[in-house]
Structures are given as C-alpha cells and as structure tokens.
Chain A
Amino acid sequence: MATVSSETLMEQFYNAFETWGLPLFVPQLIVMVVVATAVLIFVAVSVMFMVWWERKISAHIQVRFGPMRVGGWHGWAQSIADGIKLLIKEDIVPEGADRLVFALAPMVVFAAGFAAYVIIPFGPGLIVSDLNIGVLFYISISSLTVVGIIMAGWSSNNKYSVLGAIRSAAQAVSYEVPLVVSILGVIMTVGSLSMTRIVEAQQGVWFVIPQLLGFLIYMIAAIAECNRLPFDIPEAESELVAGFHVEYSGMRFAIFFLAEYANMFTVSAIAAALFLGGWHGPLLPGWLWFLLKTYFLIFVMMWLRWTLARLRVDQLMNLGWKVLLPLAFLNMGITGLILVLRG
C-alpha cells in the first residue's frame, strides 16, 4: 500500500538527518514547509480553476460565453490575469479603520480555511496528517473563519461591514450545529473520527445511501458555511453591497476571495470523503476519483447559486434551527437505533 512505502520513505529521511547529527526539528521543519507549500500551491491552482469554472458555468446557465479572450482557449488564463491585477492594485485602508485588525482579518480567514486541508484524504496515504480526531479538527477549525469575518467587519469602521459580520456570526453559529449533528451518523457507524478510517469503511457501500438525510443536511449547512447563495446573506450584494469585505480591495480582497473558494473545496472534499466514498471507485486511480467527486459537489453548489434567489435572515435562521437541526437529530437517533438493534 502507498501508505507503507511513504512512511518508510519518511523514516529514511529522518534517519539520514539523525546520522548527520542534526536535531529532529530540522527534518520536521523541512517536511512541514514542503508539504505546506505543496498544499498552498494546490489550493491556489484549484481556486483559480474554480473561479474560471464558476464564471464559465454561470455564463452558460445565463446564455453567455463568459471569459473567452485571455490565454486563447476559452479564456483559461482569466483567473491568472485577475490575480495579477489584484496583486498590483493599491492597498487601501479606510480612514478610521483599526489597521492591525484590518490587516489580520484576511489572514485569519485564510489560515482557518487553509488549515482544514490538513485532514483531507486525497487518496490512500495521500493525506497531510491522518489525525485520529480528523473530523473534530475540521469542525473546530472551520468555525474559526467567523472570527476573521467579525474582525474584518468590525475593523473596517463601516456600518455595512458590521451588519454583514453580525449576520455572518449568527449564520455560522446556526449552521455549525446541524452540520456537526449531520456528520455524527457517519461517525457512529464507523466508530472513528479519523478521515482515513471513515473512507476505508466505505469500501462496499458509500455512506450517502444509509445516510442520505445526513448528506442532504450536510450539503445545505455546508453551502451556508461557505456563505454562498441561497445563503449568501453576510455579503448580500444587493442589500449590504458586499457585507464584511466592502472596504477591502486589492490583495486583501483577493485573500478573502481565495478563502471563500478554498472553503468551498474543503466542504465538498469532506462531503466526498464522508458520504461519497472518498477515493473508492472503479478503474480510475483513487485521487482522481476523489477529485471528481469533490468537483461534482462544487458544480452542484455553483449550479444552485446561479439558479436560486437569496433567503431572508429570519428565514435562514428558521431553516437552520427549526428544520435542519431536528432532522439532523432524527437522523442521528435512527442511526443509533439501528446500530443498537444490530448489536
């Protein structure tokens, strides 16, 4: 198995440093930097692809072409051009803003989104760190995003930003709960929080079949987590202009943008791992199956976004607390009952 060979490779790597008489943290640091860079590059490339892809999808839904010029073939280089444009733009900090918090906010948002990639199982052994509390780690780290959003909203010294940030906090709290409870069914069946173990348990049947209700609740809550339509209330363009990041421009804005798409990838990847069997699939290599499933879920999210209208704040809260949460508990209860009856 690939896991074994990669582990032995790592051991050899560590042993080499030991024979040179260097302390252990040197090879550890090297591994960390290399892995982090690889993940960062993956995130950046994948986000650029997703931005271009979303523009294409939205365009075709709306009977348009979308980007067609930059780079030749169907405007594939549009995101790169946009990225460069955002990089070289003037960095504007509004007057009266809390400069430190203002600068930190995008970093917090991005770091939280980025850290979640640690536990994504791209393939057998292709996981940065197979934590034995993998799912728990994801749940806790993903809720950190809202801290960054509140920081951004508060420090901008703008009423629209504050409104957006408060909405975002309320939304995150409301949707975190059904999200967590919807995952519990899977965890109870597997009996482990480790992402690898959960995927391995789906060798025969994907959990989407026994846990269909859980999967649907997870996807709805996940879309809300990503602040995307129909739940994009924190940034509702036509109401709050852009919500919490209304005062951000240039690279700082780009980082928020990056984090949003990175989050979208994360929630889809977690859904693919927890419910759609992760890397399991015939013929194609495991990592490709995993990416296919993830991108399919991302496509569904984009499809919904360009078809539906936005919910109102109170409707969002009602849906979260009065519909999704009871259903998630029901799902958990039924799963538990079946597990007990089966012994």
Chain B
Amino acid sequence: MSPQEMEIAEDTQETMEEMYVNMGPQHPSTHGVLRLLLKLDGEVVTEVIPYIGYLHRCHEKIGENRIFTQIIPYTDRLDYLASMYNNFGYVLTVERLIGIVVPERAEYMRVILGELQRIASHLIWLGTLGLDLGNFTIFMYAFREREKILDLFESVSGQRLNYAFYRIGGMPLDFPDSFLADCKAFLEWFKPRLPEYDALMSDNIIFQKRVQGLGKLDAKTAIDYAISGPMLRASGIKWDLRRNDPYSIYDRFEFDIPVGTSGDVWDRYMVRRIEMDESVKIVEQALQGLPPGEIIGKLPKKLKPPVGDIYTRVESPRGELGFYLVSDGSEKPYRYKVRSPAFVNLSVLPVIGRGCLVADIVAILGSIDIVLGEVDR
C-alpha cells in the first residue's frame, strides 16, 4: 500500500458494507496498465480513484536531450493507436517554430494518412468498447477493417504501428503507385461496413439500454475539466480544432462535426461512430484534390529554431493534442511538453464514475477512450 492509499484507508474506515477493490493494472478492461481503486458498496461504486504512472518513461525529459528530428519516433509511442497523428502534431509545432512552408502535396498526404489513422483509432475504440460490454464479435469486425488500414500504412511507410513517417518540412516518401487505387478500394469496401456496426451495436436494444443515460457529463463540468475531443462534443459543445483552429489544410474540406446532447456513453459512442463517416468524407476529398509536386520543403542543414516558444494543438482522435516547445536557439529543445488529451479526459472519471455499478465503470472508461502510452508519457 502506498502512503496515499494508507491515508484513504484511514480516512474512510473500511466497514463490512464497503470494500476496496483494485481494478488493474492487470485487468482486461483498463485498456493497458491503468489502475483503478474502487470503493464498493455492494455492487455500487461509491468512489473511484485512478492511479497512473505504470507506463511512465520520461518522454518529455528524453525529448529535451534529443535534437528536434530525433523526437519524431518518440512521439509515435505517445498514443500508439494514432501514431500518425502524433507525428502530425509534433512536426507541425516545429515547422511553426522555425517557419517552414510545407509543400501542398505533403499537406494532402498528411491529411489522408491522419484521417485514415483517426478511423483506425476509432475502430479500436469501437472494438474494445464492445469487449467491455461483452460483445466479442464487434471486436473482430473492427480489427478486420483496421488491418486493411494498417496494410495501407505499411505500403506507404513500411511500418504497421509506429510509423515515424512525418518529417519536419514534409514527408520522406511519396505514396507508392498503387496507393491511390488501394485507398479508394478500401473506402468503397469500408463504407458498407459501417451499417454492420450499427446492426451489432447501435440497433441492439441491450447495448442501448446499457449505455443510454450512463456516465453523464454536462457541458459545464466538461469545460471545467478541460475535456476535449469526442468527449467534449458528446456533451453538446461544437468544438473541433480542425474547424475552430484550422491547421494544415483542413479548412479546404467539407465535413460535419457530430455533436451529442446529454454527454452520456451513448452520445460518446454516436459521436465517434459518425466521426468515422466524416473522416471517410475527408479522405475522399483529399484523394480527389491531391496535387502533384514536391513532398518536402526547403530546410536548413541544421535545425536551429530561433529563441522563443510555441504551443500548437491538433485534433487527435482523442482530443486536443498539444505540443509546447521552448527553444534556446540550440539544436535541442530547452523544454518539451506534451498536452495529452487522454490524460486530461481521464481526470473526469472520478466525477462521472461515482454512484454507478462496477459494470458501468468499465463502460464509462471504455467511452473515455484512453491510451496509457499517452496518459503516462
């Protein structure tokens, strides 16, 4: 028992009616190595305390000892289910710090890969939410589709999980010749799959009854806790950085931002479910408009940003992914900070998890969609 827990145990006398249960760090539904200390009154959770840090690896401190380009592979390990997007956010930050113009074609490539990554990430979330609720089949379906996206990524970058593919100033390699056809074929194949998920999940009365009205997060609490991403949108706030603080070339695409009303698990489910549709739309438009040309901009031999600092945020599949860099004029950042959406979103769990049943904690946690690589950094 850590000193913190001792305190808790002393503060609240463990009675016969209430007991503490440790959920994790080895537990099938904590999505990695999260540990939840649950205080149970029978089946009702009266208190939930998340303990993090089991995957801490000094990400930011390591960054301060590496030159700017060397940090790119480290960002892969943040949110390892959306590596492309982490790369995206980081290279964008450095580019803005130095003031590099990225070629048009590279921007389109970034958006195509980024949105495919968003679909892949949401698919994992969908599958694992299904697992948490006891629906095993959706998990296999979601992974089948994700495999196809990973195949596309492999054909582009040679990697399937940690791509390290974006470069400061552009992209290292152009799409292979077959990519455009493959990607279009995938989208045509993927679109009819989405109604299949509805048949298994959205239209299933057991699923509806399980998640509707569960884990409600009102808009005010969401803002107070700095929630971002699909969770914030589920609470009824139309806030998407791709639209509200456009970066790259997102202002050129037509897409809707799904918004929920009550902020329960059902709304979070629907928001992410519709976001997959929207990402498909963006990829289609980007494939249409993909211009020929250079894929990497003009860069100095040595990357030495001017003295100063910058904070850049992108809309990762999980929310506002921010990178803060302080440069002292040398090759390495003076300070490198990551604002990870999963960490911030997880902080609201004790609020929305109080008073529900053990089974619901699992569903709520699933709907927050955390990745421990990003929570712990």
Chain A interface residues toward B at CB < 8 A: 58, 61-64, 159-160, 163, 167, 229-230, 232-233, 236-241, 306-315
Asked if B28 is an interface residue, CB under 8 A from chain A, the answer is yes
Residues of A within 8 A of B158 (CB): none
Q: How many angstroms between the C-alpha atoms of A58 and B210 in the bound complex?
A: 23
Within 8 A of A (CB), among B7-23: 19, 21
Residues of A within 8 A of B136 (CB): 58, 62, 306
Which residue of chain A has the shortest Cβ distance to B42 in the bound complex?
A: A166
Within 8 A of A (CB), among B119-162: 130-137, 140-141, 144
Do residues B200 and A307 form an inter-chain contact, with CB atoms below 8 A?
Answer: yes
Do residues B359 and A312 form an inter-chain contact, with CB atoms below 8 A?
Answer: yes
Asked if B362 is an interface residue, CB under 8 A from chain A, the answer is yes
Do residues A232 and B134 form an inter-chain contact, with CB atoms below 8 A?
Answer: yes
- Shortest beta-carbon distance, A343 to chain B, in Å? 42
Which residue of chain B has the shortest Cβ distance to A312 in the bound complex?
A: B359
Asked if B98 is an interface residue, CB under 8 A from chain A, the answer is no
Q: How many angstroms between the C-alpha atoms of A309 and B211 in the bound complex?
A: 11
Q: What are 14 A-B pairs at a CB distance below 8 A?
A: A62-B140, A63-B144, A159-B19, A237-B134, A238-B29, A239-B29, A239-B358, A239-B359, A307-B200, A308-B134, A309-B135, A311-B206, A312-B357, A314-B357
Number of interface residues of B (CB under 8 A): 30
Residues of B within 8 A of A167 (CB): 43
Assuming the contacts A63-B144, A239-B358, asked whether A312 and B132 have C-beta atoms less than 8 A apart, the reply is: no
- Shortest beta-carbon distance, A80 to chain B, in Å? 24
Residues of B within 8 A of A229 (CB): 134
Asked if B27 is an interface residue, CB under 8 A from chain A, the answer is yes
Do residues A307 and B357 form an inter-chain contact, with CB atoms below 8 A?
Answer: no
Do residues B357 and A313 form an inter-chain contact, with CB atoms below 8 A?
Answer: yes
Do residues B362 and A238 form an inter-chain contact, with CB atoms below 8 A?
Answer: yes
Which residue of chain A has the shortest Cβ distance to B133 in the bound complex?
A: A309
Asked if B267 is an interface residue, CB under 8 A from chain A, the answer is no
Q: How many angstroms between the C-alpha atoms of A238 and B141 in the bound complex?
A: 19
Query: Within the complex, which residue of B29, B132, B204 is in contact with A308, where a contact is CB–CB below 8 Å?
Result: B204
Do residues A311 and B210 form an inter-chain contact, with CB atoms below 8 A?
Answer: yes
Which residue of chain A has the shortest Cβ distance to B21 in the bound complex?
A: A159
Do residues B206 and A239 form an inter-chain contact, with CB atoms below 8 A?
Answer: no
Which residue of chain A has the shortest Cβ distance to B135 in the bound complex?
A: A309
Q: How many angstroms between the C-alpha atoms of A320 and B53 in the bound complex?
A: 42
Residues of A within 8 A of B28 (CB): 237-238, 241
Residues of A within 8 A of B206 (CB): 230, 308-311
Do residues A238 and B140 form an inter-chain contact, with CB atoms below 8 A?
Answer: no
Instruction: Identify whether the interface residues of B are mostly helix, strand, loop, or mixed.
Output: helix
Residues of B within 8 A of A237 (CB): 28, 134
Chain B interface residues toward A at CB < 8 A: 19, 21, 27-29, 40, 43, 130-137, 140-141, 144, 200-201, 204, 206-207, 209-210, 357-360, 362
Which residue of chain A has the shortest Cβ distance to B131 in the bound complex?
A: A238
Query: Within the complex, which residue of A64, A159, A241, A310 is in contact with B133, where a contact is CB–CB below 8 Å?
Result: A310
Q: How many angstroms between the C-alpha atoms of A343 and B359 in the bound complex?
A: 51
- Shortest beta-carbon distance, B323 to chain A, in Å? 34
Q: How many angstroms between the C-alpha atoms of A311 and B131 in the bound complex?
A: 13
Which residue of chain B has the shortest Cβ distance to A160 in the bound complex?
A: B21
Query: Within the complex, which residue of B27, B130, B140, B144 is in contact with A309, where a contact is CB–CB below 8 Å?
Result: B130
- Shortest beta-carbon distance, B347 to chain A, in Å? 23
Do residues B140 and A63 form an inter-chain contact, with CB atoms below 8 A?
Answer: yes
Do residues A238 and B137 form an inter-chain contact, with CB atoms below 8 A?
Answer: no
Do residues B140 and A239 form an inter-chain contact, with CB atoms below 8 A?
Answer: no
Q: How many angstroms between the C-alpha atoms of A64 and B137 in the bound complex?
A: 10
Residues of B within 8 A of A233 (CB): 359
- Shortest beta-carbon distance, B195 to chain A, in Å? 16
- Shortest beta-carbon distance, A57 to chain B, in Å? 11
Residues of B within 8 A of A310 (CB): 133-135, 206, 210, 359
Which residue of chain B has the shortest Cβ distance to A318 in the bound complex?
A: B209
Residues of A within 8 A of B209 (CB): 311, 315
- Shortest beta-carbon distance, A191 to chain B, in Å? 38
Q: How many angstroms between the C-alpha atoms of A61 and B144 in the bound complex?
A: 13
- Shortest beta-carbon distance, A260 to chain B, in Å? 16
Q: How many angstroms between the C-alpha atoms of A181 and B307 in the bound complex?
A: 80
Do residues B210 and A312 form an inter-chain contact, with CB atoms below 8 A?
Answer: yes
Do residues B43 and A238 form an inter-chain contact, with CB atoms below 8 A?
Answer: no
Q: How many angstroms between the C-alpha atoms of A113 and B186 in the bound complex?
A: 49
Counting chain B CB atoms within 10 Å of each CB, the highest count among A229, A233, A239, A306 belongs to A239
Q: How many angstroms between the C-alpha atoms of A322 and B273 in the bound complex?
A: 33
- Shortest beta-carbon distance, A212 to chain B, in Å? 21
Counting chain A CB atoms within 10 Å of each CB, the highest count among B21, B29, B136 belongs to B136
Residues of B within 8 A of A309 (CB): 130, 133-135, 201, 204, 206-207, 210
Which residue of chain B has the shortest Cβ distance to A232 in the bound complex?
A: B134
Q: How many angstroms between the C-alpha atoms of A230 and B137 in the bound complex?
A: 13
Residues of A within 8 A of B29 (CB): 238-239
Which residue of chain A has the shortest Cβ distance to B128 in the bound complex?
A: A238
Q: How many angstroms between the C-alpha atoms of A310 and B357 in the bound complex?
A: 14
Q: How many angstroms between the C-alpha atoms of A239 and B132 in the bound complex?
A: 8
Residues of B within 8 A of A159 (CB): 19, 21
Query: Within the complex, which residue of A62, A160, A238 is in contact with B132, where a contact is CB–CB below 8 Å?
Result: A238
- Shortest beta-carbon distance, A244 to chain B, in Å? 15
Which residue of chain A has the shortest Cβ distance to B26 in the bound complex?
A: A241
Residues of A within 8 A of B40 (CB): 163
Residues of A within 8 A of B204 (CB): 308-309
Counting chain A CB atoms within 10 Å of each CB, the highest count among B130, B134, B141, B201 belongs to B134
Q: How many angstroms between the C-alpha atoms of A137 and B130 in the bound complex?
A: 39
Residues of B within 8 A of A238 (CB): 28-29, 131-134, 362
Q: How many angstroms between the C-alpha atoms of A240 and B28 in the bound complex?
A: 9
- Shortest beta-carbon distance, A243 to chain B, in Å? 12
| Given A63-B144, A312-B359, 10 additional A-B pairs, CB 8 A | A62-B141, A160-B21, A163-B43, A163-B358, A233-B359, A238-B29, A239-B362, A306-B136, A309-B133, A310-B135
